[in-house]
């Protein structure tokens, strides 16, 4: 009797800890979904919304401001952590020109990535945004082969072919629906290319900041703040900003700051989701989030899409999920072979 009672007492704490673990995973995944979807909708409203005074035809200015907010938040958190240890451990932030120059190649890719990303969002609807940006996986395969010399398995290439097929079907059906933006689609393809390059260059640059993601984010956004200034001039955004009448609009600045905060937060919640789950679960969560985002966008903007348009989304989702699974199996096999060899 006593042994049975002790077993029940032993299992109760483990059950409670398991419940806490699942609740934490649920909270983190929910935060990732909320931040990611909110950021897309906020940026869409800022770049091509229908409300007067809250939409500015200057995508590079919007992106520059979000980088400024990110740098500001880095300073606030680093300063606050000295007095409130529960905020976490943050590296000391300085203006090291040598480090800025070493991070510069990544910053150039980063600026191109977020610029094309926001330009894509400006010209395409949120519902089509996932399809427009769906070639990231394909470019990951191409760039890792071109720059790193890593070959990809036939199974992974088949998954990439499925994604490309879904992308072309989506573009075709967007044209059938009469809402296709050629420029927006091209911007989406370019954004996908630079997203893949961003991940590759991030690995190369991390050693220069002692493998600190926080420090990398700080220097990367600091460089971006400088790089965007001449780009805004070359893009002809100064006359637009001079004639913009919404600078006195509280809603506009609330959305601008919110976009910056969510832009900063997305990096944190992405890392947190990978930490409490796994890279595979993160990719599955991102794929499911994209599906929910597409459905939500069609409802929010009262859009009616043809049947084949929806099929294209499912094809891309299936190809992306299959690729993630194939890569996971390949990594497991490589790990086992290394263990056996050692």
Three-state secondary structure string covering 169-185: HHHHHHHHCCCCCHHHH
- Report the pLDDT averaged over residues 7-19: 57
* pLDDT number for residue 60: 92
SS3 188: helix
- Give a yes or no: residue 248 inside a domain: yes
- Give a yes or no: residue 188 inside a domain: yes
- Helix and strand counts by DSSP (H, E) for the chain: 12, 0
Give 232's pLDDT tier (boundaries 50, 70, 90): very high
Which residues lie closer than 8 Å to 106 by C-beta, 6 or more apart? 198, 201, 202, 204, 205, 216, 220
* pLDDT number for residue 278: 65
* 50-71 residue pLDDT tens: 666 678 888 899 999 999 999 9
- Give a yes or no: residue 304 inside a domain: yes
- Proportion of the chain above pLDDT 70, given as a percent: 89
Count up the domains in the chain and report the number: 1
* pLDDT number for residue 9: 45
* pLDDT number for residue 291: 78
- Give a yes or no: residue 89 inside a domain: yes
Whole-angstrom Cα distance, residue 264 to residue 71?
9
* Higher pLDDT among residues 172 and 272, named by residue: 172
Task: Pull the structure tokens for residue 211.
Answer: 């493998």
Give 283's pLDDT tier (boundaries 50, 70, 90): low
**Residue 90 DSSP symbol:** -
Residue carrying structure tokens 């910056």: 260
Residue 161 has pLDDT above 90, yes or no: yes
Give the residue among 147, 139, 195, 141 at the shortest CA–CA distance from 167. 139
Please spell the DSSP secondary structure of 253-311, one letter per residue: HHHHHHHHHHHHHHHHHHHHHHHHS-HHHHHHHHHHHHHHHHHHHHHHTT----HHHHH
Whole-angstrom Cα distance, residue 162 to residue 197?
22
* Higher pLDDT among residues 14 and 191, named by residue: 191
Distance set, CA 34 to CA 4, 198, 266, 271 (Å):
45, 24, 10, 15
Q: Which domain holds residue 205?
A: 33-341
Whole-angstrom Cα distance, residue 256 to residue 248?
13
* Higher pLDDT among residues 91 and 322, named by residue: 322
Residue 281 has pLDDT above 60, yes or no: yes
Checking 98-105 for CB contacts under 8 A at 24+ apart, the result is 99/208, 99/209, 99/219, 100/219, 100/222, 100/223, 102/205, 102/208, 103/205, 103/208, 103/209, 103/216, 103/219, 103/220, 103/223, 104/223, 105/201, 105/204, 105/205
What is the average pLDDT value for the chain, to the nearest integer? 83
Give the residue among 268, 265, 252, 260 at the shortest CA–CA distance from 66. 260
SS3 49: coil
**Residue 57 DSSP symbol:** S
Residue 75 has pLDDT above 60, yes or no: yes
Whole-angstrom Cα distance, residue 4 to residue 10?
10
Whole-angstrom Cα distance, residue 267 to residue 217?
9
Residue 11 has pLDDT above 60, yes or no: no
- Give a yes or no: residue 295 inside a domain: yes
Residue 189 has pLDDT above 50, yes or no: yes
Residue 335 has pLDDT above 90, yes or no: no
Whole-angstrom Cα distance, residue 140 to residue 160?
10
* pLDDT number for residue 228: 94
Whole-angstrom Cα distance, residue 259 to residue 43?
7
Whole-angstrom Cα distance, residue 110 to residue 107?
5
- Give a yes or no: residue 242 inside a domain: yes
- Give a yes or no: residue 183 inside a domain: yes
* pLDDT number for residue 79: 85
Ranking 24-33, 102-111, 221-230 by mean pLDDT, the lowest is 24-33
Distance set, CA 303 to CA 60, 178, 183, 296 (Å):
28, 12, 21, 10
Give the DSSP H or E segment for 60.
helix 59-83
Give the residue among 253, 262, 264, 313 at the shortest CA–CA distance from 288. 313
- Give a yes or no: residue 4 inside a domain: no
Residue 48 has pLDDT above 90, yes or no: no
**Residue 208 DSSP symbol:** G
* pLDDT number for residue 94: 84
Give the residue among 261, 295, 303, 302 at the shortest CA–CA distance from 130. 295
């Amino acid at each position: 009797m006593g042994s049975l009672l002790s077993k029940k007492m032993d299992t109760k704490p483990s059950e409670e800890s398991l419940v806490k673990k699942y609740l934490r995973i649920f909270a983190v995944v929910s935060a990732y979904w909320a931040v990611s979807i909110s950021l897309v909708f906020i940026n869409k409203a800022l770049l091509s919304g229908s409300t007067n005074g809250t939409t500015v035809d200057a995508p590079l200015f919007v992106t520059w401001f979000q980088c400024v907010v990110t740098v500001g938040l880095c300073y606030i958190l680093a300063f606050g952590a000295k007095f409130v240890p529960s905020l976490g451990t943050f590296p000391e932030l300085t203006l090291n020109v040598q480090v800025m120059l070493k991070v510069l190649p990544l910053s150039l890719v980063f600026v191109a990535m977020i610029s094309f990303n926001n330009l894509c969002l400006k010209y395409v609807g949120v519902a089509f945004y996932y399809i427009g940006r769906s070639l990231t996986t394909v470019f990951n395969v191409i760039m890792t082969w071109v720059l790193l010399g890593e070959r990809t398995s036939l199974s992974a290439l088949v998954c990439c072919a499925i994604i490309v097929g879904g992308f072309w079907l989506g573009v075709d059906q967007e044209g059938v629906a009469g809402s296709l933006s050629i420029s927006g689609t091209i911007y989406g393809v370019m954004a996908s290319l630079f997203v893949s390059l961003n991940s590759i260059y991030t690995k190369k640059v991390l050693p220069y900041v002692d493998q600190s993601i926080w420090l990398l984010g700080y220097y990367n956004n600091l460089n971006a703040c400088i790089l965007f200034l001449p780009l805004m001039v070359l893009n002809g955004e100064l006359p637009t900003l001079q004639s913009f009448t919404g600078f006195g609009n509280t809603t506009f600045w609330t959305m601008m700051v919110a976009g910056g905060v969510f832009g900063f937060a997305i990096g944190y919640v992405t890392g947190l989701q990978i930490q409490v789950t796994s890279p595979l679960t993160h990719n599955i969560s991102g794929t499911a989030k994209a599906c929910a985002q597409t459905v939500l966008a069609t409802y929010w903007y009262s859009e009616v899409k043809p049947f084949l348009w929806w099929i294209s989304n499912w094809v891309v989702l299936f190809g992306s999920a299959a690729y993630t699974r194939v890569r996971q199996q390949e990594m497991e096999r490589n790990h086992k072979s290394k263990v056996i060899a050692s």
